[in-house]
Amino acid sequence: MKINRRLFMGGAAAGAAATTLAAPMVHAAGHGKPKVVVVGGGAGGATAARYIAKDSKGEIEVTLVEPSRSYYTCFFSNLYMAGFRELGSIAHSYGKLASDYGINVVHDWAIGIDREARTVSLAGGATLNYDRLVLSPGIDFVDGAVDGWDVTHQNAMPHAYKAGSQSELLKAQVEAMPEGGTFAMVAPPNPFRCPPGPYERISMIAHILKEKNPTAKIIIADPKEKFSKMGLFQDGWSRHYDGMIDWIGGDFGGGNVSVNPHDMTVTIDGEVTKVDVCNVIPAMKAGKICDMAGITEGNWAPVNPHTMQSRVDENIHVLGDASSQGDMPKSGFAANSQAKVAAMAVRSALTGSKLFPAKFTNTCWSLINDNDGVKVGASYEATDEKIAKVDGFISQVGEDAELRQATYEESVGWYAGITSDMFG
């Protein structure tokens, strides 16, 4: 059904038709076009803003709140560290979302949400009204998650788990390692952003070291006994970087870790090691704004799998890493997929457009070495309880070099695809 807004606003829509037409617009009564505010301009937020603006064809006013003027994607930031990408190639501006899609892009921090009044307050002082709010703030770190580390130490021991200057810093530190030096990673506990991410990073750092500093060592202290694509990574590490990487899993004390950023030491299960570079990836939680909005349970914001609406507040949709939804990993691909379901649900609620059954997909590609790409993916459906995995696939150990190269090239094509899906 096409809604003729002028007719409706002009009050001419009296009689039987009016009830059907007017009902979806009820939220907008009194203040013109329905308003959507999207907080966070990553794979979830940028996609949601673009799809709502594009598909509502001007019927919905969309504001995107994102502090960064230039957005660095976390996906492919590991490839930047190994020199497979230029930093500029993972940076994106919001210009097209403003010029081609009419989205009001506001570079500011959201610092408060009044769910009663349906307003978002910004650090710069402005207040935005919304009919629907989309929160896609990504992750923040759990305070005190790694003994000895907090955000004031992120220069000595970078996390590089929000891309940009942190990625540059970690790359520079790795390149400056002394001959035969030691790189340590403190890996995060589940659940965390990008399950294969830390292990792709290890692969990329081993790639640099093998070229520039082949006697260097890599230690990973990991609280987990198992990680995504573990067999594929371990096979790749032994083929390409034999003897360089020492992974200490949870069953060998890998979760019993403290760091000392002043002395540059890492203590794993009581054993102190002097290191040259230490990449600390702490435990994660939903971006702080979710907590401020009062929609979290534990560390994450639970959602209705059919629409990505918060379980706590139906006027708020939560996307991507910040949401707790069931079986989907926290990935850029997943956030992009969830954003399209949410965009459809938002339009349906505000303009009466059709609501189709939610479908979700995810694929995570990882690069192990030059042209040695692997992937894992799945499709998902919404049940009342959660987003549930229904089918999937994973690359196999022993695939030939041609297939691995094609998988890598596919990931490069995907990067171009998803970033144009996000930013226009």
Partner 1 sequence: MNWIRNAAIGLTVAICASTPSFSNEIGNAADGEKLWGECKSCHAIGKDAKNRVGPHLNGIFGRRAGSEEGFNYSKGLARMGKDGLIWEFDLLDRYIENPKAFASDTRMSYRGLKDEQKRADLLAFLRRYSDNPGDIPEAAPTVAGTDHDVDPSILAIQGDPEYGEYLSSECTSCHQLTGDNDGIPGIIGWPAEDFVIAMHAYKDKYRPHPVMQMMAGRLSNDEIAALAAYFEAVEP
- Binding residue for partner 1 (CB under 8 A) from 170, 327, 369, 423? 327
- 83 Rama sector, left if φ>0, alpha if ψ -120 to 50, beta otherwise: left
Pick the piece of the chain touching partner 1 (CB under 8 A) from 127-135, 167-175, 285-293, 326-334. Answer: 326-334
Structure tokens given for 123: 């650090």
14 lies in the site for partner 1, by CB under 8 A: no
- Can residue 136 be called a binding residue for partner 1 (CB under 8 A)? no
Q: How many residues are present in the chain? A: 424
Q: Which of 143, 211, 251, 314 binds partner 1 (CB under 8 A)?
A: 314
In terms of CB distance, is 14 or 23 closer to partner 1?
Answer: 23
Dist CA 36 CA 315 (whole Å): 10
Nearest to 40 by CA among 273, 280, 269, 322: 322
**d(C-alpha 43, C-alpha 51), whole Å:** 12
Instruction: Identify the residue among 129, 273, 361, 371 touching partner 1 (CB under 8 A).
Output: 361
Task: Please identify, among the stretches 120-128, 129-137, 151-159, 386-394, the one whose residues bind partner 1 according to the rule CB under 8 A.
Answer: 386-394
Binding mask 224-263 for partner 1 (x = CB under 8 A): --xxxx----------------------------------
Residue of 51, 71, 75, 149 that binds partner 1 (CB under 8 A): 51
Q: Comparing C-alpha atoms, which of 97, 93, 39, 35 is closest to residue 65?
A: 39
Longest Cα pair distance anywhere in the chain, in angstroms?
A: 82
CB atoms within 10 A of CB 272: 11
In the bound state with partner 1, the residue whose beta carbon lies nearer, of 93 and 420, is: 420
Cβ-contact 373, 229 below 8 angstroms = no
Among 364, 367, 369, 423, binds partner 1 (CB under 8 A): 364
Q: DSSP per residue over 203-263, as a string?
A: HHHHHHHHHH-TT-EEEEE-S-S--TTHHHHHHHHHHHSTTTEEEE-GGGTTT-EEEETTT
Binding to partner 1 by CB under 8 A, coded x per residue (else -) over 266-305, reads --------------------------------------x-
The answer for 178, left when phi > 0, alpha when psi is -120 to 50, beta otherwise, is: beta
Contact region with partner 1 (CB under 8 A), list: 93-101, 118-126, 286-294, 407-415:
407-415
Q: Are strands 277-280 and 182-186 parallel, antiparallel or unpaired?
A: parallel
Residues 162 and 284: their CA atoms lie apart, in Å, by 12
- CB of 263: closest distance to partner 1 in angstroms? 33
* Phi, psi (degrees; rounded to nearest 5) at 123: -60, -35
Name the segment binding partner 1 (CB under 8 A); options: 9-17, 158-166, 203-211, 331-339.
331-339
The residue assigned the tokens 């042209």 is 371
Instruction: Please select the residue that binds partner 1; options are 260, 309, 338, 369, rule is CB under 8 A.
Output: 309
Select from 191, 258, 267, 273 the one that contacts partner 1 (CB under 8 A): 191
**Which of these ranges, 33-41, 99-107, 272-280, 341-349, lies near partner 1 under the rule CB under 8 A?**
341-349
**Min. distance of Cβ 202 from partner 1 in angstroms?**
17
CA–CA separation, 13 vs 148, rounded Å?
65
Based on the shown chain and the rule CB under 8 A, indicate whether residue 352 belongs to the binding site for partner 1. Answer: yes
Measured distance CA(146)–CA(186) in Å, rounded: 8
Told to check if 161 binds partner 1 by CB under 8 A, we report no
Judged by CB under 8 A, the residue of 173, 363, 366, 369 near partner 1 is 363
Give the CA dihedral 314, 333, 387, 26, nearest 10 degrees: 20
Judged by the rule CB under 8 A, the positions of this chain that interact with partner 1 are 19-20, 23-24, 26, 51, 190-191, 195, 226-229, 304, 306-307, 309, 314, 326-330, 333, 336-337, 340, 344, 348-349, 352-357, 359, 361-364, 375-379, 381-386, 388-394, 409-414, 416-418, 420-421
